[in-house]
Structure 1
Amino acid sequence: MTVAESEAHRLDKADPGHRHLFHVPPADGGRYPEAAYLAGNSLGLQPRATRAELLADLDAWGRLGVEGHLEGQRPWLPYHELLTGPVARLVGARPTEAVVMNSLTVDLHLLMVSFYRPAGRRTRILIEDSAFPSDSYAVRSQARFHGLDPDATVLRLRPRPGEDALRTADVTDLLAAEGDTIALVLLGGVNYLTGELLDIPAITAAGRAAGAVVGWDLAHAAGNVPLALHDWGVDFAAWCSYKYLNSGPGALAGVFVHERHLGRADLPRFEGWWSTDAATRFEMTPTSRPPATVEAWQVSNPPILAMGPVRTSLELFDSIGMPALRERSLRLTGYLERLLDEVTADRPLTVVTPRDPARRGCQLSVRIGAGSAGELTKRLRHEHGVVADAREPDVVRFAPVPLYSTYHDCWRVADALAATVAEVTP
């Protein structure tokens, strides 16, 4: 490469980020002690504060037993409320509209109980063809649950021939033309495969104008790009917290329901112990009294030891702020793009993520022209200490996460990719 390693070090001094707040895995190969970890879009790194905070919650259990529900530094009964303010600010919601609960696909199903109500001609569900498989399985199973043929019910959006990303006009034009048949729009805010950031406000407005309910899977958007779910008029959304939110493998998910739907008696919901008003919960009545907040969608009491890491991570986002993280993300991802442009120029590699910074988060996806994406990522890791994510058969995803990734990490990615792919170039 023509870009000198010294330039990466210079940029890191000028724009250091917050790497010191995280545990970075050791390198599995190469000449550097730490990994160049660009797989935060699959699993975020562990904040250094998580262990002590989690042990404090464990200690409270040991010291207090059942009394920990109401006593101690962080009583368990209202524990989930400690997350409400930070998670609402993260996604641009009002505190009554956001809650942390369950896991992502469970939350999507609970939300679709309320918001996927097929009737008459309006039965179809619109998703992107490259949706994460879990979303495809979820909407197809919802169609079957309602007695519908999933092949006829699920409408899959594909990019134009020869293109990798969806165009906003293609989505909005389809909604204008066929919206009277669509009951639910459920798209990924940032596409997991290509890293494309969809125009959430424009698509939401088009979907609602067509008479559809509009929901979003924000697994790759929350903590990655700024969100304003309330102002954009999104009907509902859900997101996991183990990727950009750094809350640990399988961590709890978040849910948003717009305030216009809160307190509606006509919306069906599944209910349980935590769906009723907290003020009357221990009256132990057989009939739920759901609050006029998103907490009405809660079913079970929150797992405290799983909530702790989410709370710790959200405090980081609250302290640093998404605007600052987005600005650094644009700089860092732009630098990686410049390096990849040089590497891909004479190799069988293509960046499939949109070049417009406004149409992507911090992920750049590279399609390889020969061989296996999985085999390539193994070599990057074991020979160069670069950790990336493979999506077979031919896409490798690199995510320079603004919280902890460095310019030198990006330089190492490009240098390793150049060295590895050079050997298979025809």
Structure 2
Amino acid sequence: MNDFEATRAWAEAQDAADPLRSFRDAFHIPPHDGGDALYFCGNSLGLQPKTVRAAIEAELADWSELAVEAHFRGRSPWMHYHEYVRDAMAEVVGAQPHEVVAMNSLGVNLHLMMVSFYRPTAERPAILMEAGAFPTDRYALESQVRFHGFDPSRDLVEIAPDGPGGILSLEAIERAIAEHGHRVALILLPGVQYRTGQVFDLARIVQLGHAQGCVVGFDLAHAVGNLALALHDSGADFAVWCTYKYLNAGPGAVAGAFVHERHARAELPRFAGWWGHDKATRFQMGPQFVPTPGADGWQLSNPPILALAPLRASLELFTQAGMARLAAKSRRLTGYLDWLIRTRLAETLDIVTPNDPAQRGAQLSVRVRAGRDAGRALFAHLERHGVIGDWREPDVIRLSPTPLYNRYLDCLGAVETIASWQATSA
């Protein structure tokens, strides 16, 4: 039972009582028609924190005034810069600080993790993944299977959705692991399915995979900054994610990786680079690679300072807000949008994302019942009226009320805009 009402007065009262309401003022909201756009696309690119410009300019100033000496004498010495985001990022993903590192991009990190954690043999060559995965994952996994001399048609095992709208049940995952686990070297699944918005039970998947002797990793691109994660406690072997979505670090921002602490000192094969070398002896420039314990040991090159500065600025907001409070607001805010759609737009839209709050985050994926052409028409109508979501083929509109900057009033406004299209297209 809820207390939701489809009125402006109710939405405004909820926004006024929201303990996180001040965080909206920390972001640049895109303008539309003399006011603010209704931005529901944090699942694709988060908004720019207002502190980002100053964060970048501080590093530009150190570069101009100190040049190379800024590595040691800057306001935030560059030698240690990737460490400045470590604790906050570990808190966001529910990990120990030494288990996380900001580096590279998601696709690069996925390949680097598979160098270490996908070790196929003739008896156990396969990778288990979801059917309909995000293309980066599909391309990366298939290419790794081929690289090791195996056949993707046989050794890339894809679990087909078995629920309405493309939902993949835990039971289907359990059956696939039970059937194929004996020959699976790696299980790689998302934390949140990008098209449907479905959340997966990471700890249960790890438990099932490890019981069959499989390594288990996750692509958390749509989960980090969206869900209250517990990566360490899940027991996952590794995970990768981007930071330009819910973490608001900017287009093409530096990505993140997690390596569970049980692998911190393991003699795992890896592609090595000098910034992954033990920092105590890194500058002795010796020929033998000695990895830094923990996730830092998977770094290749020194960190991109100007790209890390926005991530550092955004993570400060997450530290202030706290993932527990953000997740609580997200459940209610997304619940309100879900309720509004089911109450006012049931004849027009189907919600693909599970109704159970435990199986979703901030994202709601919807389909127009009249079909793909009508869906494209609705999406264009939303854009014209300043409601910014995104479209995913073949026929899904994604709307993500992000708790750091979205309001109840935004949800009501989006639904009213859809209702205006519904009225004119009837």
Task: Report deviation, 1:392.
Answer: 2.1
Is 1:7 matched with 2:10? yes
Correspondence for 1:26 among 2, 11, 31: 31
Write the distance in 2 (CA, Å) between the matches of 1:424 and 1:393.
Answer: 21
Partner-residue secondary structure (3-state), 2:146: helix
Write the distance in 2 (CA, Å) between the matches of 1:92 and 1:118.
Answer: 29
Write the distance in 1 (CA, Å) between the matches of 2:254 and 2:93.
Answer: 16
Partner-residue secondary structure (3-state), 1:126: strand
Q: Which residue of 2 aligns with 1:83?
A: 85
Q: Which residue of 2 aligns with 1:304?
A: 305
Write the distance in 2 (CA, Å) between the matches of 1:366 and 1:73.
Answer: 47
> What amino acid sits opposite 1:137 in the alignment?
Y
Partner-residue secondary structure (3-state), 1:220: coil
**Any unmatched runs of 5+ in structure 2?**
none
Q: Is the 8 A contact 1:372 1:392 kept in 2?
A: no
Q: Which residue of 1 aligns with 2:363?
A: 363
Write the distance in 2 (CA, Å) between the matches of 1:10 and 1:162.
Answer: 35
Correspondence for 1:140 among 139, 142, 149: 142
TM-score by length of 2: 0.95
Question: How is 1:243-322 mapped onto 2 (pairs within 5 angstroms)?
Answer: 243-265=245-267, 267-322=268-323
Q: Is the 8 A contact 1:104 1:239 kept in 2?
A: yes
> What amino acid sits opposite 1:106 in the alignment?
V
Q: Is the 8 A contact 1:100 1:253 kept in 2?
A: yes
Q: Is the 8 A contact 1:373 1:391 kept in 2?
A: no
Q: Is the 8 A contact 1:222 1:239 kept in 2?
A: yes
Q: Which residue of 2 aligns with 1:59?
A: 61
> What amino acid sits opposite 1:379 in the alignment?
H
Q: Is the 8 A contact 2:159 2:176 kept in 1?
A: no
Aligned-pair identity in percent equals: 50
Question: How is 1:195-210 mapped onto 2 (pairs within 5 angstroms)?
Answer: 195-210=197-212
Write the distance in 1 (CA, Å) between the matches of 2:156 and 2:41.
Answer: 31
Q: Which moved more, 1:60-69 or 1:117-126?
A: 117-126
Task: Report deviation, 1:372.
Answer: 5.6
Task: Report deviation, 1:5.
Answer: 2.0
Write the distance in 2 (CA, Å) between the matches of 1:213 and 1:86.
Answer: 27
> What amino acid sits opposite 1:365 in the alignment?
S
Q: Is the 8 A contact 2:163 2:169 kept in 1?
A: no
Q: Which residue of 2 aligns with 1:169?
A: 171
Q: Is the 8 A contact 1:374 1:392 kept in 2?
A: no
Q: Is the 8 A contact 2:165 2:196 kept in 1?
A: no
Write the distance in 2 (CA, Å) between the matches of 1:414 and 1:163.
Answer: 21
TM-score by length of 1: 0.95
Partner-residue secondary structure (3-state), 2:14: helix
Q: Which residue of 2 aligns with 1:323?
A: 324
Write the distance in 2 (CA, Å) between the matches of 1:411 and 1:259.
Answer: 44
> What amino acid sits opposite 2:170 in the alignment?
T
Q: Is the 8 A contact 1:263 1:293 kept in 2?
A: yes
Task: Report deviation, 1:300.
Answer: 0.8
Q: Is the 8 A contact 1:130 1:191 kept in 2?
A: no
Is 1:412 matched with 2:413? yes
CA RMSD of aligned residues (A): 1.4
> What amino acid sits opposite 1:238 in the alignment?
V
Is 1:236 matched with 2:238? yes
Q: Which residue of 2 aligns with 1:340?
A: 341
Q: Is the 8 A contact 1:90 1:227 kept in 2?
A: yes
Partner-residue secondary structure (3-state), 2:55: helix
> What amino acid sits opposite 1:341 in the alignment?
R
Task: Report deviation, 1:412.
Answer: 0.9
Write the distance in 2 (CA, Å) between the matches of 1:245 and 1:3.
Answer: 30
Is 1:68 matched with 2:97? no
Task: Report deviation, 1:223.
Answer: 0.4
> What amino acid sits opposite 1:244 in the alignment?
Y
Q: Which residue of 1 aligns with 2:353?
A: 353
Q: Which moved more, 1:86-95 or 1:217-226?
A: 86-95
Write the distance in 1 (CA, Å) between the matches of 2:161 and 2:282.
Answer: 49
Task: Report deviation, 1:164.
Answer: 2.5
